[in-house]
Structure 1
Amino acid sequence: MRVHRGVGNGAIAVVTVLALCSGAWLLSSGADTKAPPQPSAAQASGAGDGGEAPHTGEAGESGESRGAHTHPRAPRSAAPALPPSPPDRIRIPAIRVDAPLMGLGLTKTGSLDVPPAERKNLAGWYEAGTTPGETGTAIVAGHVDNADGPAVFYRLGALRKGTVIEVDRRDGGTARFSVDAVEVYDAKAFPDEKVYGPAPRPELRVITCGGGYSRSTGYRGNVVVFAHLVGGGR
């Protein structure tokens, strides 16, 4: 793993770690198992960014890497930044996600650690970086599946622009984000700067595995959701 520039106040490496992307369920279940949904080209940054109403339907599937050199820009301005506060929970009603968040650090090799695979309804946030809601880029990651079946972010690739993501914070408030883009990248062409780079407004990245799948290597890439803060308070 290559260690890259900082996110917020801490350094972070590529999140395409094998622990997130082994695809143990697909491997053990065989051809009868349906792969998780992948984002369609219409949900990529720069594709129809005229402002869309929230959607809840499932996007089409694609294993291609898109938009590696463009930065998503929301049609709506961001809400004022919130003071720093660790997050406790993430909710994405459109895909029935309601999960606690644990703090994630870095492994000895410098890559982002991951939540325990056996706890399928658990996500993590990079606690040395930006907290969700404050100015900068906050990072949340979780498994797409485990050996027993779908995990917390199995349907992440089905999100669409305008979908709401809520993050409960330890100060008693909730940071509300609106999705700007949903993209999928091959691990060999992961756009580190675009995903982890600093932001002048409060932004959120939600990451899981996706793209093509190989029985020998697992998932070949990552699904990344780009979102910005649209509201917050207690």
Structure 2
Amino acid sequence: MAAPQPSDTAPASPALGRSLLWPVAAVGLGFLLVHNSFDASAGVPPAPAVVSLPAPSKPASTAPSAAASAPSPGLPRSEPERIRIRSIGVDAPFAPLSIGPSGQLDAPPANDANLAGWFKDGATPGERGTSVVAGHVDTKTGPAVFLLLSTLKAGNTVDITRRDGSVAGFKVDSVETFSKEDFPNERVYADNGRAQLRLITCGGAYDKKKKDYKDNVVVFAHLASTTHP
């Protein structure tokens, strides 16, 4: 989603510290909670009605051949390689994200608009636990991979192809927007013992002074199907 367009000129330089803030404390079985925000861009966000999404990349050559199986509590650990959300035109590769020296989760490179990132020290998508995937809503050069994330609806699907050749199919439960100043960590990152997915990007108004959006858009989804090669 692009935030409402600011009325005056946005900052000329990109925001520093594009990141999700991660506290040191672990929760439950050592799962780190995201504390603050994912900062997408310092540029003026383009209006969704007048821009085109990044061109979908070519799908991986090795496609799963078996029919989707019944939902399961989780899959074995396997790194994600590609995310597809057909209802909003997303088809993008992944970059692993880690927590930097400042305690912030590094963001995907801002020079690649069609790139998602996943927290590599947490659950992989499809694995039991809550997997965290973050993406830019826009960058200094224009719209990015999660531009239309906020338009998803309950029942939409998210397919993540994994390194082992399996595809974890998630069904969206809800899409919500939270203030970064009052982000509900425990609710968003709770581990209920099953495979969950959280997609996160920026939303709301753009704060030119802080060089950051005021809100986070969060998609809550659960593992609904698995497809194996």
The answer, yes or no, to whether TM exceeds 0.5 is yes
Structure 2 CA distance for partners of 1:151 and 1:187, relative to 1, 3 Å: same
Larger mean Cα displacement after TM superposition, 170-179 or 213-222: 213-222
Q: For the residues of structure 2 that align with 1:199 and 1:222, how far apart are their CA atoms?
A: 22
Are 2:131 and 1:118 equivalent residues in the alignment?
no
Q: For the residues of structure 1 that align with 2:176 and 2:160, how far apart are their CA atoms?
A: 21
What is the aligned residue count? 186
Are 2:216 and 1:222 equivalent residues in the alignment?
yes
Q: For the residues of structure 2 that align with 1:232 and 1:91, how far apart are their CA atoms?
A: 14
Are 2:151 and 1:167 equivalent residues in the alignment?
no
Q: Report the alpha carbon displacement of residue 207 of structure 1 after superposing the two structures with TM.
A: 0.3
Structure 2 CA distance for partners of 1:207 and 1:2, relative to 1, 3 Å: closer
Structure 2 spans left out of the alignment, 5+ residues:
1-20, 50-69
Runs of 4 or more, structure 1, over 4 Å off, are 6-10
Structure 2 CA distance for partners of 1:78 and 1:233, relative to 1, 3 Å: closer
Are 2:32 and 1:11 equivalent residues in the alignment?
yes
Match of 2:47, as an amino acid? Answer: K
Q: For the residues of structure 2 that align with 1:86 and 1:188, how far apart are their CA atoms?
A: 31
**What do residues 192-231 of structure 1 show as CA deviations (whole Å, max 9, x unaligned)?**
1111221221100000001222222231010000000010
Are 2:20 and 1:26 equivalent residues in the alignment?
no
Are 2:134 and 1:134 equivalent residues in the alignment?
no
Q: TM-score, normalised by structure 2?
A: 0.75
Q: TM-score, normalised by structure 1?
A: 0.73
Q: Look up the SS of the partner of 1:94 in the other structure.
A: helix
Q: Report if the CA contact (8 A) 2:48-2:148 is conserved.
A: no
Structure 2 CA distance for partners of 1:194 and 1:103, relative to 1, 3 Å: same
Q: Report the alpha carbon displacement of residue 34 of structure 1 after superposing the two structures with TM.
A: 2.1
Structure 2 CA distance for partners of 1:8 and 1:177, relative to 1, 3 Å: farther
Q: For the residues of structure 2 that align with 1:166 and 1:153, how far apart are their CA atoms?
A: 15
Match of 2:108, as an amino acid? Answer: P
Structure 1 spans left out of the alignment, 5+ residues:
28-32, 37-76
Q: For the residues of structure 1 that align with 2:116 and 2:28, how far apart are their CA atoms?
A: 18
Q: For the residues of structure 2 that align with 1:169 and 1:6, how far apart are their CA atoms?
A: 26
Q: Percent of pairs identical after alignment?
A: 44
**What do residues 11-63 of structure 1 show as CA deviations (whole Å, max 9, x unaligned)?**
3442504xx23x32217xxxxx4279xxxxxxxxxxxxxxxxxxxxxxxxxxx
Q: For the residues of structure 2 that align with 1:228 and 1:2, how far apart are their CA atoms?
A: 23
- The match for 2:225 is 231
**What do residues 177-201 of structure 1 show as CA deviations (whole Å, max 9, x unaligned)?**
0000000001011001111221221
Q: For the residues of structure 1 that align with 2:42 and 2:146, how far apart are their CA atoms?
A: 15
Q: Look up the SS of the partner of 1:24 in the other structure.
A: coil
> When you count helix as a share of all residues, which structure comes out higher?
1
Q: For the residues of structure 2 that align with 1:7 and 1:175, how far apart are their CA atoms?
A: 24
Q: For the residues of structure 1 that align with 2:28 and 2:157, how far apart are their CA atoms?
A: 23
Q: Look up the SS of the partner of 1:188 in the other structure.
A: helix
**Structure 2 counterparts to residues 1-234 of structure 1, below 5 A:** 1=21, 3=23, 4-6=25-27, 9-17=30-38, 20-21=39-40, 23-26=41-44, 33-34=46-47, 78-217=71-210, 218-234=212-228
Q: Report if the CA contact (8 A) 2:174-2:219 is conserved.
A: yes
Q: Report if the CA contact (8 A) 1:82-1:133 is conserved.
A: yes
RMSD: 2.1
